[in-house]
Structure 1
Amino acid sequence: MSATRVTIASRIFPPEPGAAAYRLGSLARRLARHGAEVEVLTTTPPRGVPEGWGADGIRLRRWPVLRDRGGNVRGYLQYASFDVPLLARLLLSRRPDVVVVEPPPTTGAVVRIVGALRRVPYAYYAGDISSTAAAGIGVPRPVVVALRALERWAMRGAAVVLTVSTGVADDVRQLVGAGHRVVVVGTGVDTDTFRPLPHDGSTPTFVYAGTMSELQGAEVFVRAFGQIAAERPDARLRMYGQGVQTGRLNQLADAVAPGQVSFPGRVPGEVIAAELSRASAGLASLRPGMGYDYAYPTKMFAVTACGTPVIYAGPGPGHELVRAHGLGWACTWSPDEVAEAMRAALRRTTSSEESDRLAAWTRASASQDSVADKAATAVLGAAAARGVNAPTGEDWTGSRPPRPSA
């Protein structure tokens, strides 16, 4: 019996940091662990990010692309620099049994075209709904309408659509209509990378790690820290990552807390894990009213996986999760409320027992392993539906740790 051949097509993949990269990396490893031949068609990492990533059974094929000033593949020209070569790469490569594609919808459209030409099924991994995000940040309506039509077309051709939450799944069903297979695989964090690391003691530091765009609304932390900086000259705020608002946040930080806020940019996950392990608290946010109130910011799980409490600012299930499981402080998207949570974090020392509890909860409830398991099952099921035998290995129906649900 030949192994199932799986191709993953994505503009972002490890070692480049990001929620999409982490979940696709975990999926690739999970598929390879079960005997699949995995080929990844992706991009060369941005400057400063090492290329060293791999695993047995996974072949990485990278392609140089245009990136914006922040190092992101975001924007029409940047997407085209990946999507146009991808068309040829998919057509000229060995025919896979199934393809996994990550947004944007333009990439999904390319995969649908190639899938039709080569008679290959594909799975669309919807970490979010691009047209909903575009509407939330104020993109002109004609652009949103066109994007929504393209996204609908890309998803309707998929053998299965994988989603990170029931909220995203509901949005997908509303977009594509009834009769399409949608599987909620959940969301989680790589607990092999994000884990408690040894340190000499906690520091009066707050750590934000992730995208800085309109949807996240990370400015709430900079404004809140402006209050803390005046009270605690020894306190520091570290903002890891990139995004369209990075420049604006730099200017704001210089105005409200000069010298106490740093923007190290993109760094490997291991560096962030070390910083989180000794921080007073990690930070996660979701700006209300942007069409994403149902989302889980994955960065909150990266914080708790390192045994550190999280300050969550915003609406949705993440807010309720922090309160229900004692993961830190949940507040509205308000600088005053966030500042009060920061003061509470600085007053409290996280014990080793509490750190262990937070890390254990994350491994049991929000580990990327369980997410990758469900995603791999769905992907191999799409291949099997076309007459391809799924590889054997562990029992795919075995028990799995619980996952958070919206």
Structure 2
Amino acid sequence: MSGSARPADGVRVTLATRIFAPEPAAASFRLAALTRGLTGLGARVRVLTTTVPGRAEPSPGPGVTVERWPVLRDPEGYVRGYVQYLSFDVPLLLRLLRTPRPDVLVCEPPPTTGAVVRLAARLRRVPYVYYAADVWADAAQSAGMPGAVVRALHTVERWAMGGAACVIAVSEPVAARLHELGVGRVEVVPNGVDTDVFSPDGPAVDDEGRPYLLYAGTASEWQGADVFLRALPRVLEEVPGARVVYLGQGSDWQHLRELAAGLPPGTVEFHTRGPAEEAARWQRGAAACLASIVPGRGYDFAVPTKIHSALACGAPVVFAGVGQAAEQVRDERLGWAVDHEPGAVAEAMVAALRAGRSPQEDARRAAWVRSHRSATATGRRAAEVVTAAARR
């Protein structure tokens, strides 16, 4: 290689994932950043993913080929649930064997996808990289799934990661847990956000004199986003015109709607998921953005991407939970970090509504994200891990 050549010139990467742009989710943002990082290093990327009903497919950009396949989706339109996962995983093996041979494979959970990729990598004699946002078996155990299911998932997950040239973990706690499970080579690359889309500059939702707090993103049982609705009656006593807006989807969505039905009309709004630009518009107009993780369910290590996308738009954050996310919000003065219980959450929500937003603080929060959680930087770092695996 000449001295002027980029480190990944000509490297062929195949990415296997059930979720990819334009679906708005943390995994989509993470993999889009990885793809940009790879092409920025001179690699060529082929993405094997799913069709997205009702959404226009964005241009993949130079150096990227996206191949989509129809799959089963749940009632909310997500590839979520083991029947849905298998509708992607079963044809994936044939897709991986029929595509031009890459220099390296990359996969995203669920572990069943990782197992298929390990098998294809062995048959084609290429290395692969597993991108671990969390440990699925631990999450299943904390959710109270039957022991036999948890043990089977542990077996599949360890096998899926066990043959990887490298596993990318999104945080130090995830990496530590992977080492406990016997995973060898682990590199930590935190999630980042697209600071071109998520920034203080751009259109904002007009609150029409009614301030709102925004929960933007997935709401599942382990996130416990219902704590904000349980706190809302106390908030309304202090700030009568307040409202909470949920923008997204998730397995807990119906439960949230049921709780909202018992609250005063107009105080809670639900909007289905949309493009990242729509989320940014809501985040710019919010008094603060909400995020939560139920303690003790195996996700205390997680730092929800919704925190950083909100901060990148200048919005402060009310975080309910413990662990790394709470420490980050508290230590960097990015908002309010409180216990995951309605009383403490209500106090923080009232404080956020009364504090308002200032251009100076918005700019400081956005600058922090650009320095520490920019998708450009994290995507390039992940790309370096992938291309190093290809060379090895």
The answer to whether TM tops 0.5 is: yes
How do 1:314-325 residues align onto structure 2 when only pairs under 5 Å count? 314-325=321-332
In the alignment, does 2:150 pair up with 1:139?
Answer: no
CA–CA distance in 2 between the matches of 1:75 and 1:131? 14
The more displaced of 347-356 and 99-108 is: 347-356
AA at the equivalent of 2:268 = V
SS at match of 1:255: coil
Question: For residue 345 of structure 1, what is the aligned residue in structure 2?
Answer: 352
Change (3 A) 1:200 1:249: closer
In the alignment, does 2:257 pair up with 1:250?
Answer: yes
SS at match of 1:55: coil
Asked if structure 2 preserves the Cα contact closer than 8 Å seen for 1:14 and 1:53, the reply is: no
In the alignment, does 2:104 pair up with 1:98?
Answer: yes
CA–CA distance in 2 between the matches of 1:200 and 1:284? 19
Question: For residue 295 of structure 1, what is the aligned residue in structure 2?
Answer: 302
Question: For residue 382 of structure 2, what is the aligned residue in structure 1?
Answer: 375
Asked if structure 2 preserves the Cα contact closer than 8 Å seen for 1:5 and 1:96, the reply is: yes
Asked if structure 1 preserves the Cα contact closer than 8 Å seen for 2:170 and 2:188, the reply is: yes
Cα deviation per residue 1:153-203 (whole Å; 9 max; x = unaligned)? 0000100000000100011111135xx110011222221221113448765
AA at the equivalent of 2:199 = R
Structure 2: gaps (5+ residues): 2-8
Change (3 A) 1:200 1:292: closer
How do 1:6-405 residues align onto structure 2 when only pairs under 5 Å count? 6-47=13-54, 49-177=55-183, 180-196=184-200, 197-199=202-204, 204-229=211-236, 231-385=238-392
CA–CA distance in 2 between the matches of 1:145 and 1:220? 31
Q: CA deviation at 1:53?
A: 4.2
SS at match of 1:139: coil
Q: CA deviation at 1:236?
A: 2.1
Question: For residue 396 of structure 1, what is the aligned residue in structure 2?
Answer: none
Q: CA deviation at 1:8?
A: 0.6
Q: CA deviation at 1:223?
A: 1.3
CA–CA distance in 2 between the matches of 1:44 and 1:276? 28
Asked if structure 1 preserves the Cα contact closer than 8 Å seen for 2:115 and 2:156, the reply is: yes
AA at the equivalent of 2:122 = A
CA–CA distance in 2 between the matches of 1:112 and 1:125? 13
AA at the equivalent of 1:183 = E
What TM-score does the superposition give when structure 1 sets the normalisation length? 0.91
AA at the equivalent of 1:241 = G
SS at match of 2:364: helix
Total equivalences in the alignment: 382
Q: CA deviation at 1:211?
A: 1.3
Asked if structure 1 preserves the Cα contact closer than 8 Å seen for 2:239 and 2:350, the reply is: no
CA–CA distance in 1 between the matches of 2:206 and 2:360? 14
The more displaced of 298-307 and 194-203 is: 194-203
CA–CA distance in 2 between the matches of 1:352 and 1:46? 39
SS at match of 1:240: strand
CA–CA distance in 2 between the matches of 1:125 and 1:366? 17
CA–CA distance in 2 between the matches of 1:191 and 1:45? 24
Matched-pair identity in %: 52
Asked if structure 2 preserves the Cα contact closer than 8 Å seen for 1:71 and 1:242, the reply is: no
Segments of 4+ moved more than 6 angstroms: none
What's the RMSD between the two structures over aligned residues?
A: 1.5
Cα deviation per residue 1:45-95 (whole Å; 9 max; x = unaligned)? 254x43224211111111111111122211111001100111111010101
AA at the equivalent of 2:74 = D
Q: CA deviation at 1:366?
A: 1.4
Asked if structure 2 preserves the Cα contact closer than 8 Å seen for 1:163 and 1:186, the reply is: yes
Structure 1: gaps (5+ residues): 386-406
Change (3 A) 1:201 1:253: closer
Change (3 A) 1:274 1:289: same
CA–CA distance in 1 between the matches of 2:53 and 2:139? 24
